[in-house]
């Protein structure tokens, strides 16, 4: 098989800090091997409309430390259809693109699997703050988001202590409680509520009442957005109970968790993953994602990482419980 001369890169799904570092690594690794890289703007939407341009070392200069993604990202339903995917193939052929690196979450990787199924060589790079992608210990953006969450928890605890209050803090995680659980353990929260482990409102109230009686000056409950009830309903329930002790306040961290420059960990992860993605693609691999396993990186079949869910270690739940006293 002749060696590829031109590949493309895109960022897709929810943005994640470190996506720019990954784009930079892809471009520089490819250019060092005399391979051209096209940057596709706005993910699969841009692929369908042919919105792409050649990226050189200069276009990716000065982006390593920047949050967001210079290629932007988008969600697109047309690409999920057979007709949409055939249109995408046509666009790739028009531009002479022989292989792709797709940087994104599990949905984006499902799109990458579809392209692979149509014969386009594709390597995926996991990037999503949720850390819900099977086959990788960490996805790009998780560490930065977690640090942002910890900064917020620390600040909220300061004011909680001053006023003898309880803060209910909602963090991202549509279907996955990783950020909430790690945020709770590392932020020293009293309560954690995640989709993988239901905690009835009554149990939350009892836990807070107990913390008050034991003399705590504050209480923090961290809740994932994907939990089975809304944080506003929990606030209403707690406010109605007269035995909780603490006054209740609520903070939703929202999209602050997706912004900001990547941490050192995310810069390194994104850089290593971008370089491996290019090397593996040029070596003839396709239909795989770059997975971080321990200190190493290994290819994981897209078939596997898009059909299985990354699970939260039960030991972390036990840890959260034990340390919250």
Known catalytic residues are 130
| Cβ-based neighbours of 34, under 8 Å, separated by 6 or more | 5
Q: Which residue has the tokens 């596997």?
A: 304
What are φ and ψ of residue 312, in 5° steps? -80, 135
DSSP 8-state symbol, 263:
P
Q: Which of residues 239-258 bind ligand F6P (CB under 6 A)?
A: 258
Could you give the string, one character per residue 101-140, with x where binding to ligand F6P holds by CB under 6 A and - elsewhere?
---------------------------xxx----------
* 3-class DSSP state of 63: coil
111 binds, options ligand ADP, ligand F6P, none, Cβ within 5 to 8 A by partner type: ligand ADP
Q: Which of residues 53-72 bind ligand F6P (CB under 6 A)?
A: none
In angstroms, the Cα distances linking 250 to 103, 154, 220 are 34, 15, 10
Q: Is 106 in the site for ligand ADP (CB under 6 A)?
A: yes
Could you give the string, one character per residue 220-239, with x where binding to ligand F6P holds by CB under 6 A and - elsewhere?
-----x--------------
**Strands 288-293, 296-301: parallel, antiparallel or unpaired by DSSP?**
antiparallel
What are φ and ψ of residue 246, in 5° steps? -80, 150
Find the binder of ligand ADP among 50, 107, 245, 261 (CB under 6 A): 107
Q: Is 99 in the site for ligand ADP (CB under 6 A)?
A: no
Total of residues contacting ligand F6P (CB under 6 A): 9
* 3-class DSSP state of 270: helix
Beta carbon nearer to ligand F6P, 84 or 126? 126
Write down the number of H helices and E strands in the chain: 11, 11
Name the residues that contact ligand ADP, by CB under 6 A: 12-14, 44, 75-76, 79-80, 104-108, 110-111, 114, 128
């Amino acid at each position: 098989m002749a060696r590829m001369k031109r590949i493309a890169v895109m960022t897709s799904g929810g943005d994640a800090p470190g996506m720019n570092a990954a784009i930079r690594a892809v471009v520089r690794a490819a250019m060092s091997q005399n391979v051209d890289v096209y940057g596709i703007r706005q993910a699969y939407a841009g692929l369908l409309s042919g919105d792409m341009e050649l990226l050189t070392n200069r276009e990716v200069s000065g982006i390593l430390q920047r949050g967001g993604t210079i290629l932007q990202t988008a969600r697109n339903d047309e690409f999920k259809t057979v007709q949409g995917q055939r249109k995408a193939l046509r666009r790739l052929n028009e531009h002479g693109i022989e292989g792709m690196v797709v940087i994104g979450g599990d949905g984006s990787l499902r799109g990458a699997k579809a392209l692979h199924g149509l014969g386009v060589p594709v390597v995926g790079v996991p990037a999503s703050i949720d850390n819900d992608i099977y086959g990788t210990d960490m996805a790009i953006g998780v560490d930065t988001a977690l640090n942002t969450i910890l900064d917020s928890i620390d600040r909220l605890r300061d004011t909680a202590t001053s006023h003898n209050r309880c803060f209910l803090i909602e963090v991202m995680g549509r279907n996955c409680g990783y950020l909430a659980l790690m945020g709770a353990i590392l932020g020293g929260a009293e309560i954690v509520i995640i989709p993988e482990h239901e905690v009835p409102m009554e149990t939350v109230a009892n836990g807070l009442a107990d913390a008050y009686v034991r003399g705590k000056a504050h209480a923090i409950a961290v809740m994932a957005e994907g939990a089975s009830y809304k944080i506003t309903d929990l606030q209403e329930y707690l406010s109605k109970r007269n035995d909780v002790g603490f006054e209740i306040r609520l903070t939703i961290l929202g999209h602050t968790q997706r912004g900001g420059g990547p941490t050192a960990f995310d810069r390194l992860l994104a850089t290593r993953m971008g370089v491996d993605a290019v090397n593996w693609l040029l070596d003839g691999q396709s239909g795989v994602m770059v997975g971080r396993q321990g200190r190493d990186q290994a290819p994981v079949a897209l078939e596997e990482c898009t059909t299985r869910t990354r699970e939260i270690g039960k030991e972390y739940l036990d840890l959260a419980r034990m340390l919250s006293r």
